[in-house]
Structure 1
């Protein structure tokens, strides 16, 4: 079992009153510091202010810290990171109808413009004007308070902890990915990558009715964990050709007779995995790219054409994904507690970042302020 690091006096279910907005700030020099900033005001009559209780760390948070940018998004001014959060409603605008002070909520940390073509077509995750937490220039949730519109705050069932509530964000990504794969009832699914997103895709695929879910990775301990998190089989990638890896993977998945798996989900972005996934896919199958690695890779596109396969990209989550993610938790079809292997107080936030950078455990959560 992975070690757990936390403060013994920490009680995230009973936060103390606080009249300051303590923030954990990353500078353009990629150095962290703490800062007290003004308490954010409600910007519209539909906004709510949430006291943040728990925040999970994501690979993008680590990337901004270590590299100062992700693609076109550059840390050229101080920024607050964090976007996987849950907390307690502390204030509501006059037009808020379905939330009240004291409600426990998971935060959907992106706000679209609501007026562009993609927003009005119900694909607000593709909005060019998206204000997404911890994506420059917008601050994230590693602060005492965070403000969002009511529709971006989702009530948590009483039996769901704040730390599980923080992971509704990555769980919603997995819900979106598996939704793009279509009807999974009775299907065979290969998931590449046993990190948090890959494992969540594994669990959601099973909850959606997949008969076979084989998870592939290069780390033995993560594959062992995958078997306890919904995988029906695992495969450790070998130093051999993508075709040979695909053949071995299909043997593990008992999918050789069918000519391949129905669905491939790549949560790595690694060239070897994407290539192997294409070779493991059956004719007419669906390949969903969920992970981001190198922006440019060699890809066996001829195989996609020869198999008349469907290739889909996946970006964050869209309408209904958060609601469905919480329903999966409420019904216990997906459980998140075992994913959380390390916990830190807000005062130990930098230590938490280093823990994730060192690839310790699976999921790290910061409590507070």
Structure 2
């Protein structure tokens, strides 16, 4: 059987991280397509907060200057981008699961299954997202999405349902993060939830909690633009923690977020607090707002260690949990939600920027005006 291959092409445009505060739009040679890989024509790739952190304060997950990643061997400069959708334009000789012209999204996390290694203990139990040798396309593995084309493992690709566009499909990675957090938290239908932070992941959790059957949702957020977004996406209450409470309260609560949670839940507090901000103040509020035996779930990646008074947990048997990334289970669940139109996915996209303007219209726009955006997508080919 003949294998479809892409025509020979010239160098490609790619946004590459060269070092701290050093992103460049480079001409790069096309990657070679291995026997178990596919070449994708990239349709859309979202800018993640991780990409911004890599640029401003990194490299973090990307290799350090002068070093190579111990698993993949790649070194700077690295093509960024890990939230991408595309179309298969070349198939490796061993690939049977996909076909030429198929529309797919990419699970960018690689584990020992992809790397030809023996499985570690998490992988043996199906917890591939915490693989001891996990690497990621667009950070620590070659094949980032801020490029015209990318070569990835065929097993990293998940076909898009016919009713889901390539544009919306690019949202599947951050939505999978949110779905994984809800799933791992142990949240159950009919429960209440607090979300601290109305950034892209916080809003994704809000939208997906509605699919899970949440009874009440409270959002804590300080910026006006994101407060408006949280209201638009249907939070039952949106509270600015910097605005002081007025009036006397019998429970002597002084934190407006904790007060709102108790007021909306009959005085008990919420079943689950999702901290998507990662500050000392939001951790403290998440603990105080959770009801007895409630769950505090950490979503954020922290820039510095926080203080934790375990007595606040022990006295009411509250629990802290945390989650990272996703598995294919989360991607399939999210694609089903998107295919059924259960969340306003298009409204999560606040801007689409051509690859030629990724530096100013993408990265600098998010750095300077991040509160105005939920998700900026980069589009290598404006005709897609």
Common topology (TM > 0.5)? yes
The equivalent position to 1:132 in structure 2, one of 115, 133, 136, is: 136
Structure 1, 315-324 or 70-79: larger mean CA deviation = 70-79
Residue pair 1:245, 1:276 contacting (<8 A) in 2 also: no
Matched, 1:32 2:23: yes
Name 2:51's counterpart in structure 1. Answer: 61
Name 1:84's counterpart in structure 2. Answer: 83
CA distance in 1, matches of 2:262, 2:58: 42
Name 1:228's counterpart in structure 2. Answer: 232
Residue pair 1:275, 1:300 contacting (<8 A) in 2 also: no
The equivalent position to 2:186 in structure 1, one of 182, 188, 194, is: 182
Residue pair 2:239, 2:257 contacting (<8 A) in 1 also: no
Normalised to the residue count of structure 2, the TM-score between the two structures is 0.85
Q: Secondary structure at the match of 1:94?
A: coil
CA distance in 2, matches of 1:87, 1:230: 31
Name 1:317's counterpart in structure 2. Answer: 326
Q: Secondary structure at the match of 2:255?
A: helix
Matched, 1:261 2:270: yes
- Correspondences of 1:111-260 after superposition (within 5 Å): 111-114=110-113, 115-136=119-140, 138=142, 140-238=144-242, 244-251=255-262, 254-257=264-267, 259-260=268-269
CA distance in 2, matches of 1:215, 1:29: 33
Taking a change above 3 Å as real, the CA distance of residues 21 and 211 of structure 1, as seen in their structure-2 partners, is: same
Name 2:38's counterpart in structure 1. Answer: 48
Structure 2: 5+ residue stretches without partners: 1-6, 67-75, 114-118, 246-252
Which one has the largest radius of gyration?
2
Q: Secondary structure at the match of 1:100?
A: coil
Residue pair 1:243, 1:276 contacting (<8 A) in 2 also: no
Structure 1, 109-118 or 342-351: larger mean CA deviation = 109-118
Residue pair 1:278, 1:300 contacting (<8 A) in 2 also: no
The alignment of Structure 1 onto Structure 2 pairs a total of residues equal to 351
Name 1:12's counterpart in structure 2. Answer: none
Structure 1, 70-79 or 305-314: larger mean CA deviation = 70-79
Q: Please report how far the alpha carbon of residue 50 of structure 1 lies from its aligned counterpart in structure 2 after TM superposition.
A: 1.1
CA distance in 2, matches of 1:289, 1:307: 19
Name 1:9's counterpart in structure 2. Answer: none
Taking a change above 3 Å as real, the CA distance of residues 354 and 26 of structure 1, as seen in their structure-2 partners, is: same
Residue pair 1:84, 1:170 contacting (<8 A) in 2 also: yes
CA distance in 2, matches of 1:64, 1:146: 20
CA distance in 1, matches of 2:193, 2:129: 25
Taking a change above 3 Å as real, the CA distance of residues 203 and 35 of structure 1, as seen in their structure-2 partners, is: same
Name 1:23's counterpart in structure 2. Answer: 14
Normalised to the residue count of structure 1, the TM-score between the two structures is 0.88
**1:124-166 residue CA offsets vs partner (Å, 9 max, x unmatched):** 1111212202324655221122222222211112332222111
Name 1:74's counterpart in structure 2. Answer: 64
Q: Please report how far the alpha carbon of residue 36 of structure 1 lies from its aligned counterpart in structure 2 after TM superposition.
A: 2.6
Aligned-residue Cα RMSD (Å) equals: 2.3
Q: Secondary structure at the match of 1:215?
A: strand
Matched, 1:95 2:94: yes
